[in-house]
């Protein structure tokens, strides 16, 4: 059996991974709060866990891994978005979940085995809070229930700080009813216009941290193997999860291994709205960057290092993947991935070394093993990406563009000029110029001379445009 080693935040060591039950290796990844599109940084933990799950399934068997990733669908950011847009919370969360699925699917990230939504686990959260109160780890105050951090001596161990340091350094929400400034909310009261559920403490809603403790216990049990997320979640979110879960289930160990990925930058700078370098996964896909290229660029940097997204890297990835796709057209995959690729991944998910090993296979012309090994990283997957290997005929492109021109004409006919203009701009980006006479049908012209490279490029762009307009 392949020996997997992972860097465990809990022990601060790279350790040999030993599952609690090799017949059911269990993982939990903190998922998104669903009120907006996932930005590029949100995709990183998803891709890291996707590769981890692929590796675990390779080592322990496809049916012997259970992967859970939640949706936080009760949160004040969602309430604020609903109030600002006049839409219902349900509409916003449903739409965002669908977007999330589309975007993560486009990155080749397999869906988890369970995707629990917080609002479906309120009963379990209330029960856990009751246990915490009964065990002397939580207290009720003015309609709130708070976790008493001083009741859990190990509080701060995961992130490596003491409660007193935290108070000195952190922005803590001071409230008169807190016994200690670091005490955090398990339950809070809801106004009539806020989402709320009946509880022993009145109508209210859960705090964020309790969700993950309750859902992981319900789906994976009070002890499981790996818990992860971005390094920004280590404190306070994960610290608080540890406190809640260990105090509610003192007999269990909660997560054995904690895995945290470093943050993402764009062209050497922190991604932020104020710097104008903030973008979502969908923004890139709409620009015609294939999901596989995004994945490749992300995986080229080890998850424990800061990752810098640059356009140059994306272009380079596109060329490499394009060559690999051409190499594996019509090739039967080898029965086993290359040893070098498996051992790189088994060494604390060293995806950058694994990709270097894929290069060696490509250089050696070993297409069958390149194909099988790349799939362990979620690259060159069958069916879905396929963007680079396509050699479309001129007729195919013509008929696809014609169809989009008709959609554009239809939008103008119903006077949806905003949407029509958006579509027109996207097609222009693909070198297709639309025009219309007063009553006549839409016309289109190609602005670039046709060549085989051009044909490949336009298909990638058409894929993105069609996925948006032809649903």
Query: Rounded to the nearest whole angstrom, what is the least distance from the CB of residue 155 to Zn ion in the complex?
Result: 17
Q: Applying CB under 5 A, which part among 210-218, 327-335, 371-379, 429-437 lies near Zn ion?
A: 210-218
Matching residue, tokens 């670091």: 182
Per CB under 5 A, does 243 bind Zn ion? no
Q: Which of residues 57-116 bind Zn ion (CB under 5 A)?
A: none
Pairing of strands 5-8, 264-266: unpaired
Q: Applying CB under 5 A, which part among 25-33, 176-184, 259-267, 324-332 lies near Zn ion?
A: 25-33
Query: Rounded to the nearest whole angstrom, what is the least distance from the CB of residue 383 to Zn ion in the complex?
Result: 32
Query: Rounded to the nearest whole angstrom, what is the least distance from the CB of residue 223 to Zn ion in the complex?
Result: 17
Of 65 and 212, CB closest to Zn ion: 212
Binding residue (CB under 5 A) for Zn ion from 118, 212, 338, 341: 212
The answer to the question of whether 212 is labelled as a binding residue is: yes
Give which of 326, 319, 330 is closest to 297, Cα–Cα.
319
Q: Applying CB under 5 A, which part among 184-192, 208-216, 302-310, 453-461 lies near Zn ion?
A: 208-216
Per CB under 5 A, does 220 bind Zn ion? no
Of 166 and 212, CB closest to Zn ion: 212
Per CB under 5 A, does 30 bind Zn ion? yes
Query: Rounded to the nearest whole angstrom, what is the least distance from the CB of residue 120 to Zn ion in the complex?
Result: 16
Query: Rounded to the nearest whole angstrom, what is the least distance from the CB of residue 158 to Zn ion in the complex?
Result: 13
For residue 5, give both structure tokens: 């080693």
Of 220 and 376, CB closest to Zn ion: 220
Q: Applying CB under 5 A, which part among 27-35, 81-89, 283-291, 374-382 lies near Zn ion?
A: 27-35
Query: Rounded to the nearest whole angstrom, what is the least distance from the CB of residue 49 to Zn ion in the complex?
Result: 13
The answer to the question of whether 142 is labelled as a binding residue is: no
Residues in contact with Zn ion, total (CB under 5 A)?
A: 2
Of 261 and 350, CB closest to Zn ion: 261
Q: Applying CB under 5 A, which part among 205-213, 317-325, 342-350, 463-471 lies near Zn ion?
A: 205-213
Three-state SS string over the chain comes to CCCCEEEECCCCEEEECCCCCCCCEEEEECCCECCCCCEHHHHHHHHHHHHHHHHHHHHHCHHHEEEEECEECCCHHHHHHHHHHCCCHHHHHHHHHHHHHHHHHHCCCCCCCECCEHHHHHHHHHHHHHHHHHCCCEEEECCEEEECHHHCCCCCCCCCCCHHHHHHHCCCCCCCCCCCCCCEEEEEECCCCCCCECCCCCCEEECHHHHHHHHHHHHHCCEEEEEEEEHHHHHHHHHHHHHHHHHHCCCCCEEEEEEEECCEEECCEECCCCCCCCCEHHHHHHCCCCHHHHHHHHHCCCCCCCEEECHHHHHHHHHHHHHHHHHHCCCCCCCCCCHHHHHHHHECCCHHHHHHHHHHHHHCCCHHHHHHHHHHCCCCCCCCCCCCCCCCCHHHHHHHHHHHHHHHHHHHHCCCHHHHHHHHHHHHHCCEEEEECCCCCEEEEECCCCCHHHHHHHHHHHHHHHHHHCC
Q: Applying CB under 5 A, which part among 204-212, 311-319, 378-386, 400-408 lies near Zn ion?
A: 204-212
Query: Rounded to the nearest whole angstrom, what is the least distance from the CB of residue 30 to Zn ion in the complex?
Result: 3
Per CB under 5 A, does 346 bind Zn ion? no
Of 132 and 212, CB closest to Zn ion: 212
Rounded to whole angstroms, how far apart are CA atoms 147 and 347? 37
Query: Rounded to the nearest whole angstrom, what is the least distance from the CB of residue 211 to Zn ion in the complex?
Result: 7
The answer to the question of whether 101 is labelled as a binding residue is: no
Of 30 and 259, CB closest to Zn ion: 30
Applying CB under 5 A, the residues found at the interface with Zn ion are 30, 212
Query: Which residues are known binding-site members for ATP?
Result: 273
Question: Residues at the annotated binding site for Zn(2+)?
Answer: 30, 212, 237, 241
Q: Which residues contribute to the annotated binding site?
A: 30, 212, 237, 241, 273
């Amino acid at each position: 059996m392949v020996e997997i080693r992972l860097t465990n935040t809990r022990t601060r060591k790279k350790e040999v991974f030993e599952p609690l039950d090799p017949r059911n290796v269990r993982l939990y990844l903190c998922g998104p709060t669903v009120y907006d599109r996932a930005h590029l940084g949100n995709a990183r933990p998803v891709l890291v866990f996707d590769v981890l799950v692929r590796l675990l399934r390779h080592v322990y068997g496809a049916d012997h891994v259970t992967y859970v990733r939640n949706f936080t669908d009760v949160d004040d950011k969602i309430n604020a978005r609903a109030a600002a847009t006049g839409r219902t919370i349900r509409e916003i969360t449903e739409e965002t979940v669908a977007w999330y699925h589309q975007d993560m699917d486009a990155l080749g990230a397999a869906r988890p085995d369970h995707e629990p939504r917080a609002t479906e686990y309120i009963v379990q959260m209330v029960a856990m809070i009751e246990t915490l109160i009964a065990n002397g780890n939580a207290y009720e105050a003015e309609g709130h229930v708070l976790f008493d951090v001083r009741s859990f001596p190990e509080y701060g161990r995961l992130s490596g700080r003491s409660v007193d340091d935290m108070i000195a350094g952190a922005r803590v929400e001071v409230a008169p009813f807190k016994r200690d400034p670091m005490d955090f909310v398990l339950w809070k009261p809801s106004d009539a216009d806020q989402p709320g559920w009946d509880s022993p403490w009145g109508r209210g809603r859960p705090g964020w941290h309790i969700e993950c403790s309750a859902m992981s216990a319900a789906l994976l049990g009070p002890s499981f193997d790996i818990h992860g997320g971005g390094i920004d979640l280590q404190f306070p979110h994960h610290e608080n999860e540890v406190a809640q879960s260990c105090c509610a289930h003192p007999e269990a160990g909660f997560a054995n291994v904690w895995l945290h990925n470093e943050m993402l930058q764009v062209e050497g700078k922190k991604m932020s709205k104020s710097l104008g370098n903030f973008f979502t996964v969908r923004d890139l896909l709409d620009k015609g960057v294939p999901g596989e290229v995004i994945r490749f660029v992300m995986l080229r940097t080890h998850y424990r290092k800061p990752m810098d997204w640059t356009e140059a890297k994306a272009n380079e990835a596109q060329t490499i993947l394009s060559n690999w796709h051409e190499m594996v057209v019509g090739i039967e995959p080898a029965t086993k991935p290359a040893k070098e690729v498996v051992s790189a991944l088994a060494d604390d998910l060293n995806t950058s070394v694994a990709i270097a090993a894929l290069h060696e296979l490509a250089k050696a012309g070993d297409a069958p093993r390149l194909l099988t090994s790349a799939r362990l990283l979620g690259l060159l997957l069958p069916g879905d990406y396929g963007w680079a290997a396509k050699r479309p005929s001129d007729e195919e492109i013509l008929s696809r563009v014609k169809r989009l021109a008709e959609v554009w004409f239809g939008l103008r006919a119903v006077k949806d000029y905003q949407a029509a203009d958006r579509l027109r701009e996207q097609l222009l980006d693909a070198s297709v110029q639309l025009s219309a006479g007063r009553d006549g049908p839409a016309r289109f012209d190609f602005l670039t001379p046709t060549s085989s490279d051009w044909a490949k490029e336009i298909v990638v762009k058409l894929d993105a445009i069609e996925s948006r307009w032809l649903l």
